[in-house]
Amino acid sequence: MSRAPDTWILTADCPSVLGTVDAVTRYLFEQGCYVTEHHSFDDRLSSRFFIRVEFRQPEGFDESSFRAGLAERGESFGMIFELTAPNYRPKVVIMVSKADHCLNDLLYRQRINQLSMDVVAVVSNHPDLEPLARWHDIPYYHFPLDPNDKPAQEARVMKVIEDTGAELVVLARYMQVLSPELCRKLDGKAINIHHSLLPGFKGAKPYHQAYNKGVKLVGATAHYINNDLDEGPIIAQGVEVVDHSHYPEDLIAKGRDIEGLTLARAVGYHIERRVFLNANRTVVL
């Protein structure tokens, strides 16, 4: 479900205590706000409550006083909340290597406004995809990777992120492992996509390995990055059935399609404030 263009988004989480739903919904009612979408989840294992509400503002709505009143109302619950204004478009930096399918898909979805974001830069360790970025009138930064001085390259990447004011970084088939330091800096605001196969084939040509094993499923996983390679909190996954008639090139083509769709879905969830981090897991409302 995509977000309506005229609604505010309120997201909040707090310990699981009596009255959490009432604290949010009653406050919205008292402020004259019309709720258009509401989802909540109480995690009984972590004893934590999560809520996401979209609402239309009444006449004379004042954001500052609304925030102050909600902060006062939620204080006794230990509630942490975030308020996102209508038509808000976060700034995004996309990182790529040579494969263009995920980048092309994201830029197309931005162009048709399916993803309400502003891609402010494309960063790559290769020059190959610069024409695609330039065609969309987006700055392209080529930072070759020196294996003997990886921190210097990552410092240049981080400077682009900071200078553009990007709130989200998308690794759209960026084929380099980020350092623990950069992972820490991007904690909770960088999404990666990779293939998902059972068994988990590692190393070169995973789809060829999968073909040799006769796999019956191919898929993709989009997750927040952390210092554990390809093991960050999962946001979205996709899968498709294959069979003996699928040759390695067919599996690769299927994989590209699933990667593009799964990454776009994860980015959409993030920019619509649907994702909550819950320890090493995610809650997606």
Tell me the per-residue pLDDT of 30-73, one tens digit each, with 9 for 90 and over: 999 999 999 999 999 999 999 999 999 999 999 999 999 999 99
Residue 97 to residues 69, 144, 194, 244, 268: CA-CA distances in angstroms?
Answer: 47, 10, 13, 31, 22
Task: Tell me the two tokens of residue 151.
Answer: 């921190």
Q: How far is CA 245 from the centre of its chain?
A: 34
Domain regions of the chain by residue span: 8-84, 91-284
Lowest mean pLDDT among 123-132, 191-200, 244-253: 191-200
Q: What percent of the chain has pLDDT over 90?
A: 87
Tell me the per-residue pLDDT of 72-121, one tens digit each, with 9 for 90 and over: 999 999 999 999 999 899 999 999 999 999 999 999 999 999 999 999 99
What is the CATH T-level fold of the domain 91-284, as seen in this structure? Rossmann fold (3.40.50)
- Contacts of residue 79, Cβ cutoff 8 Å, sequence gap at least 6: 12, 13, 14, 20, 23
Q: Contact 92/118 with Cβ under 8 angstroms?
A: yes
Tell me the per-residue pLDDT of 163-203, one tens digit each, with 9 for 90 and over: 999 999 999 999 999 999 999 999 999 999 999 887 888 77
Q: Is the dihedral of CA 276, 20, 16, 285 positive or negative?
A: negative
> What is the average pLDDT across 241-267?
95
Residue 230 annotated as catalytic? yes
CB atoms within 10 A of CB 45: 8
What is the CATH T-level fold of the domain 8-84, as seen in this structure? Alpha-Beta Plaits (3.30.70)
Q: How many Å apart are CA 1 and CA 265, to the nearest integer?
A: 11
Residue 182 to residues 77, 154, 187: CA-CA distances in angstroms?
Answer: 34, 7, 8
Active-site residue, from 230, 243, 250, 257: 230
Average per-residue pLDDT for the chain: 94
